[in-house]
A and B are shown apart, each in its own frame.
Chain A
Amino acid sequence: MTTIQHPVHPSVDDPSHALHAESDEEFRLRLRAFLTSGGPGPRPRDPRERVAWTKAWHRNLYDAGYAGPSFPQEVGGMDLPFGRQVIYQEEIARAKVPGALGTGLGIVAPTIIRYGTEVQKQTWVRAMLRHDEVWCQGYSEPGAGSDLPSLRTTARREGSGEDEVYVVNGQKVWTSSGILADTLFCLVRTGSQESRQKGITYLIIDAKAPGVTIRPLKDLNGGTIFAEVFLDDVRVPVANRIGEENSGWALVRTSLGHERAAGSMNQAARYRRVLDELIQLAQERGLTSDPLIRDQLADFDIRVRLMRFNAERIIAGILERGEPGPTSSVSRLMLTTFEQELHEFAVDMLGPDGLVTKASDAAVQRARWLSGFLTSRAATIGAGTAEIQRNTIAEQVLRLPHDPAMPPR
């Protein structure tokens, strides 16, 4: 783990002060100017170089005071009001700069900010923001997917005083970007197996520590989006615990304000681009004169517009009433289904040409539609299956009764 890095705001142009004096439009232009002039440069083709290039860009962003739009300034963030966060996300998307590595910033950083000690906040959140460390998730296990509270990775205390540690044993799986991990944020069992979510603790584990083995997991498309993590007698300082022992479950899914909603417009914009590229491909191949293909493309076009209207509604809800409303709970269902159906349609539309993989020079557009067809299977599985999501919508938004055959939430 790295030492504390304080943000360096190199010029008199201190973003925190400028925030209060400037208008939204001035803020947008200032950010845009930075993203244009201080941009990351051309994207390397070599995967390893690309990782270094991405890290350098995020370090640059942090040092200039443009990292962590929703995070407090005490931990190096920008602490932007929600409306500015939307602008920030729009400009980041527009500039096509590389996104963050790992999943820490979106998932564990808000938890640390909310529940962590001062030292944890200063050390860990800054390290993540500056990309000095890549943080990856260790929640799911081979036997604990949708039923996460049944997880079996154990952590038992050993030693005393300063030297007291948790000794962790178990296996984690579906760790996104796991092979890049410097640090793992994990849920471990400190109570009895029967105690379920009441016996779970939140631990931060050094991925380079003895006993940690990370293996790439080959997915159905031949890629390595995920890794599996083996933990054998890994000694973790007690100071690496967030919150109290056995109270880790309540910390999961902490979010800061509505940070995720701030980027919801970008999802819609991204699918807009993807669809426009598919429409162009259909036109180039003379397929839009087929009324069935045209009807399908129009249907996707309508849905992509609906995504934008849904995002606008979510953002307006937060700005006007301070809460995103029911649209926000269902919009992900719309996105995931769309992604799957669009790619499958593209493969169908291309006929046998759609089946040619990127290993062949004959592949259409480097087989992006075929790859998308395969990898989008994960859209309704990862980050909570579509089925669990529907249960949550039904119970939390529509207030339908809990299934008595299921353990209490």
Chain B
Amino acid sequence: MSGQAEELQELREVTRRFLADKASISDTRRVVESGRSCDEAVWKQMAEQIGLQGIAVPEQFGGAGMGPVELGVVCEELGRTLYAGPFFATVVMAAQALVAADDVEAAERWLPGIVEGALTGTLAVADLTGEIDPEKVLTTAEPDGEGGWRLTGSKRFVVDGCSADLILAAALVEGEVGLFGIDGDAAGLTREPLAQLDPTRALAVLTFEATPAQRVATDAAAVLGRVRDLVSAHLAAEQAGGAAAALEMAVEYAKVREQFGRPIGSFQAIKHMCADRLLDVESARNAASAAAALLADHDPEASLTASAAAAWAGPAFTRVAKDNIQIHGGIGFTWEHDAHYFLKRAKSSEVLFGSPAHHRARVADLAGI
């Protein structure tokens, strides 16, 4: 095995062991059934013991200095247990926006806290849809006359919006999009939880009324373009992980559940479903890691590939999650069984940052169709 392949395998194993110990699917259920969106102690241990929050943060800000390939592996593992916590919003969205921005002061202010597990964050771009699309920003920003800024507007579908310590929000300054940092407890900020399908990923509606903010000095449109691609690729990795776990769950059940005096997994109808879903899982995983590798190299094909991965992995995870319930039969339809958590995460993540049709349209644009 090559050096890089070996290191990735080790990262995968370390992450998987940590999650099995502290954040398994049963832990996810325990957290969300107690009405929370995160187990803070585990979040802290994740940073202190295995340093996942800082994996793709440069060393100068306290991170491990790795990139999209490694972060993709971590997201895939977190997807397997439907990890309920602020990882995606903080590490993929907020931290990667700060990494992509060329504002060293802002990075020094916030990244070390994220790496240590002391600060959580999120990113809010399109006001109405949750997409990371600088074209869909309506919120405005004005200077406060003292070097700071004030934001007015609202953002829907903000991941972990109620709990994030730092909100990075896109807002218009004289028609141009800019990026701003807002404290979670800032004056003039209202945060409302949004009742929605997926209990393992909290969403919120944020309202800014002349809310004080600090501007991140950078080409915000370029930064958001980069983050959009990273989110597509890493969400696809997370979906591939969730799909793999759901398929394993279905296959294990089909081996032991007996009807007509034999395991249901010996029937062709079940076998064929599982074989087709293995194709879904393998292709999703390979597409996500291809996208991550191209993003790491800043390859010109990276954007297109990230959308291709997203367009495939979203529906693929949903197909697996649905077939998992079908194979479990009645028990899969109950609240007590974990299968519904996978379906809810799958459908939610399939549409949250842009539907499969949206990503296909983007592929058509970028491929010149």
Question: Residues of A with Cβ closer than 8 Å to B?
Answer: 279, 282-283, 288, 294-295, 297-299, 301-303, 305-306, 309-310, 312-313, 316, 320-321, 326-327, 329-331, 333-334, 387, 389-391, 393-395, 397-404
Contacts of B369 in A (CB 8 A): 279, 282-283, 288, 294, 297-298, 301
Contact residues of A: prevailing secondary structure: helix
Q: Are A320 and B311 in contact (CB under 8 A)?
A: no
Contacts of A390 in B (CB 8 A): 268, 271-272, 275-276
Known contacts A298-B369, A302-B360, A401-B263; is-contact A394 B274 (Cβ 8 Å): yes
Contact residues of B: prevailing secondary structure: helix
- Is B254 interfacial (CB 8 A cutoff)? yes
Contacts of A279 in B (CB 8 A): 369
Least Cβ distance of B150 to chain A in Å?
41
Contacts of B312 in A (CB 8 A): 302-303, 306
Q: Are A310 and B286 in contact (CB under 8 A)?
A: yes
- Is B266 interfacial (CB 8 A cutoff)? yes
Contact of B283 among A294, A295, A334, A400 (CB under 8 A): A334
Least Cβ distance of A52 to chain B in Å?
41
- Is B231 interfacial (CB 8 A cutoff)? no
Least Cβ distance of A115 to chain B in Å?
30
Q: Are B360 and A295 in contact (CB under 8 A)?
A: yes
Contacts of B268 in A (CB 8 A): 387, 390-391, 403
Expressed in whole angstroms, the Cα–Cα distance for A389 and B276 within the complex equals 10
- Is B337 interfacial (CB 8 A cutoff)? no
Sorted nearest first, the 8 A-B pairs with minimum C-beta distance are A394-B271, A390-B275, A298-B360, A400-B265, A393-B275, A330-B279, A298-B364, A309-B290
- The residue in B276, B308, B369 that gathers the most chain A C-beta atoms within 10 A of its C-beta is B369
Least Cβ distance of B324 to chain A in Å?
13
Expressed in whole angstroms, the Cα–Cα distance for A390 and B255 within the complex equals 16
Q: Are B1 and A398 in contact (CB under 8 A)?
A: no
Contact of A305 among B271, B308, B364 (CB under 8 A): B308
Contacts of B357 in A (CB 8 A): 295
Pairs A–B under 8 Å by Cβ, sample size 17: A282-B369, A294-B364, A299-B311, A305-B305, A309-B287, A310-B283, A312-B286, A312-B290, A329-B278, A330-B278, A387-B272, A398-B271, A398-B274, A400-B254, A400-B263, A400-B270, A402-B266
Least Cβ distance of A336 to chain B in Å?
11
Contacts of B286 in A (CB 8 A): 306, 309-310, 312-313, 327
Q: Considering the complex, give the chain A residue whose CB is closest to the CB of B310.
A: A302
Known contacts A333-B275, A391-B268; is-contact A301 B367 (Cβ 8 Å): yes
Expressed in whole angstroms, the Cα–Cα distance for A310 and B288 within the complex equals 11
- Is B172 interfacial (CB 8 A cutoff)? no
Beyond the given pairs A306-B312, A326-B278, A331-B282, 12 more chain A to chain B contacts, judged by CB atoms under 8 angstroms and listed by A's residue number, are: A282-B369, A294-B364, A302-B311, A309-B283, A309-B289, A330-B279, A387-B268, A390-B268, A395-B271, A397-B278, A400-B274, A401-B263
- Is B249 interfacial (CB 8 A cutoff)? no
Q: Are A320 and B363 in contact (CB under 8 A)?
A: no
Least Cβ distance of A319 to chain B in Å?
8
Q: Are A302 and B279 in contact (CB under 8 A)?
A: no
Contacts of A299 in B (CB 8 A): 311, 360
Contacts of A297 in B (CB 8 A): 364, 369
Q: Are A404 and B266 in contact (CB under 8 A)?
A: yes
Known contacts A297-B369, A298-B363; is-contact A401 B275 (Cβ 8 Å): no
Contacts of A391 in B (CB 8 A): 268, 271-272, 275
- Is B361 interfacial (CB 8 A cutoff)? yes
Contacts of B266 in A (CB 8 A): 400-404
